[in-house]
Structure 1
Amino acid sequence: MVAIDANEVSKRYGTLQAVDRVDLTVEEGETFGFLGPNGAGKSTFINMLLDFVKPSHGSVSLFGNDCQGEGVAARSRIGVLPEGYSTFDRLTGRQHVEYAIRSKAADDDPIDVLDRVGIREAADRKASGYSKGMAQRLVLGMALVGEPDLLLLDEPTTGLDPNGAAEIREILREENERGATVFFSSHILEQVEAVCDRVAILQDGELVALDTIEGLRETMGGGTKLVITLDRLEDGTLETIWAVEGVDTAVATEESTVEITCTNDAKMDVIVALHEAGLDVLNFRTEEASLEDMFVEYTGAGR
């Protein structure tokens, strides 16, 4: 069954096209990563799923229920960690979770929920004293109440240290193994790469890529990443590399190191071009292209 179905959905604010004719289907049971630079339209798309925002064109549905025309039914099977949420300062963590339990007519134990997201010891503290990371864990706990069929999470690891982010990834894996569909946006690409079945990349409101990570690598001609250390970098070095046929991106990462994504056939051509430009290659190695490399390619951030 289809968990999320977007059909030619668009949203315009005056002259700003925030989302532009996005077609997207997420199957039940997937863990799906929704990526894009700031301002790409990710949160606007999620807000249309939640009926916080009305589409200017097209439609979106959850489990076959139109998000605008059948909003109550559409939202009855989901748990949400939205962008820009705020907790109730005068309520404790326990009271927040109890509120979520009543709202969903669920029978979860609030202490078990808080323990799962790592803030059991703060159950009876008012949320006004919570750090950003603790508040993030609290709202995630509220989203988990009632074992929802779909989790919609907007930047779920904001405010968390690396250990906390790893704990959240493990929770998402457990939810997916339980049978839940997980749909989350993130700008921390290694987290998406660690847990997602498929990813979509949004750029200026348009869907520019939609595939498995391995499929994106194949689209990039094999997705080879070439790391070259030179004797020096000159003003025209990156332009020399970009001029080689088969090169997708070239980024200077250190004083004299360049990371390049290219087809397998282009690797030696890059080295020859650098030699002909009068530069000495001190060392080079190849790696499999990461999600970050592919993100740079699809969003044009490498040029």
Structure 2
Amino acid sequence: MSAIETAGLTKRYDGTPAVSDLDLTVHTGEVYGFLGPNGAGKSTTIDMLMDYTRPSAGQATIFGQDVRDDASAIHARTGILPDRFGVYGSLTGREHLDYILDANDATGDPETILGRVGLSDAIDQRAGGYSKGMQQRLGLAMAIAGDPDLLILDEPFSGLDPYGVRLVRDVVAAERDRGATVFFSSHVLDQVERICDRVGLLADGELVAEGTPAELRATAGVESRLHVDTDVDDTALTAVRNVDGVTYVTRTDAGVEIACGAESRYHALNTLADAGAPIRTFNVDTGTIEDAFVAMADAQREATRGRDDA
């Protein structure tokens, strides 16, 4: 059984689609990154999954239960950190956790849970005095309280310093290891690639592509680049351009940049050396999920303009 399943899920506001015909499957036990820029429709999708807003068309299920008909049962199995999370300023961190555990009829130790998100020293402070990052970590603690089967995190990196960002990654990994399904939206694409099993790219309310980060890079034609610190002349440039698998070569301030697949890298390096270009250092840029997203989003917008112009 899938953790999340949608079919033709659509939401329109005044006739304008925020989410269009979304077919999505999130497998039980995986970390699924739902990616896209602000305004792409990520939060609207989450609102429909949680029955905070009703779809204009289509349907969705969580653990086989209809998100509208079985909302209460779904909420009992789901921990959520919403994008616009707010604290109760007069309550302490401990009291927030006591409240959520009681509301969900769940067991758990507030001190242990808050310790996981780095708030042990602030457990009995009133949350109104928390910084934005501390409030975000409190929201994460409330989401994981009670060991939910599904964790939905909407922009979980918002307002966090590098320590907090790493902490979120560690919590997500621990929840997956526990057996939970994690579904989170983000526009911070470089962080997503480190922890996701699969990702879906959303652009203008439509699912542009889906797969592992490596699959999406390949689908989008994102090439790896070999950056070589060397002294290169025209003879060496010509030689490396003729290597099978090399798609382009260009000079840089440090030496040369070569676009090629993994199978061609060492042949390219050996060719440079044989042509008299000393290899001082080199590194490989494999391309990121952000590169894939930009390529696919641009293609989607071009396709949309083409339909509009037809």
Tell me which interval the TM-score lies in, with the shorter structure as reference length: 0.7 to 0.9
Matches within 5 A, 1:113-192: 113-192=113-192
Residue of structure 2 in register with 1:67 after alignment: 67
Show CA shifts across 1:151-183 (max 9, x none): 000011211111111111011101100000000
CA distance in 2, matches of 1:98, 1:60: 31
Shift of 1:24: 0.3
Which deviations, in whole Å up to 9, do the C-alpha atoms of 1:37-86 show, x marking residues without a partner?
11100000011011011000001111011111111122221100001121
Quickly say closer, same or farther: Cα 1:228–1:145, change in 2 above 3 A. Answer: same
Q: What's the secondary structure of 2:3's corresponding residue?
A: strand
Amino acid at match of 2:16: L
Corresponding position of 1:270: none
Alpha-carbon spacing, 1:75–1:164, altered in 2? closer, same or farther (3 Å)? same
Which residue in the other structure is 2:291 paired with?
Answer: 293
The whole-number CA distance in structure 1 between the counterparts of 2:189 and 2:221 is 21
Q: Which amino acid aligns with 2:180?
A: A
- For the residue of structure 2 that corresponds to 1:61, the secondary structure is strand
Q: What TM-score does the superposition give when structure 2 sets the normalisation length?
A: 0.78
Q: CA deviation at 1:261?
A: 8.1
| Contact kept in structure 1, 2:8 and 2:23, CA below 8 Å | yes
**Aligned equivalents of 1:66, 1:255: Cα separation in 2:** 58
Q: Give the RMSD, CA atoms, in angstroms.
A: 2.9
Paired amino acid for 1:296:
V
The answer on 1:58 being equivalent to 2:66 is no
The amino acid across from 1:110 in the alignment is P
Normalised to the residue count of structure 1, the TM-score between the two structures is: 0.79
2: CA distance between counterparts of 1:260 and 1:211? 27
Select the structure of larger CA radius of gyration: 2
User: How much has 1:119 moved relative to structure 2?
Assistant: 0.6
**Structure 1 residues 197-208: aligned runs within 5 Å:** 197-208=197-208
Distance, in Å, in 2 between the alignment partners of 1:154 and 1:183 is 8
Partners of 1:220 and 1:263 within 8 A in 2: no
User: Is the Cα–Cα contact under 8 Å of residues 83 and 156 in structure 2 kept in the other structure?
Assistant: no
- Structure 2 distance, partners of 1:174, 1:128, is 29
Q: How far is 1:220 from its partner?
A: 2.8
- Per-residue deviation, 1:143: 0.7
Change (3 A) 1:261 1:135: farther
Alignment length (residue pairs): 264
Q: Secondary structure of the residue that 1:85 maps to in structure 2?
A: coil
Aligned twin of 1:108: 108
Residue identity in the other structure for 1:11 = K
Give 1:217 shift: 2.2
Asked if 1:212 is matched to 2:212, the reply is yes
User: What is the aligned partner in structure 1 of residue 99 from structure 2?
Assistant: 99
Segments of structure 1 that go 5 or more residues without pairing to the other structure are: 230-245, 248-253, 265-283
- Which ranges in structure 2 are unaligned for 5 or more consecutive residues? 230-245, 263-281, 303-310
Which amino acid letter does the alignment assign opposite residue 130 of structure 2? Y
Query: Which secondary structure does the structure 2 equivalent of 1:121 belong to?
Result: helix
Aligned AA (2:110): P
Change (3 A) 1:44 1:87: same
CA contact (8 A) 1:4 1:62 kept: yes
Distance 1:55 1:226 in 2: 47
DSSP 3-state at the match of 2:294: helix
What is the CA–CA distance in structure 2 between the aligned matches of 1:228 and 1:169, rounded to whole Å? 32
- For the residues of structure 1 that align with 2:283 and 2:10, how far apart are their CA atoms? 43
**1:297 and 1:40 mapped to 2: Cα distance?**
15
Q: 8 Å contact 2:106–2:146 — kept in the other structure?
A: yes
Contact 1:3–1:64 (CA under 8 A) maintained in structure 2: yes
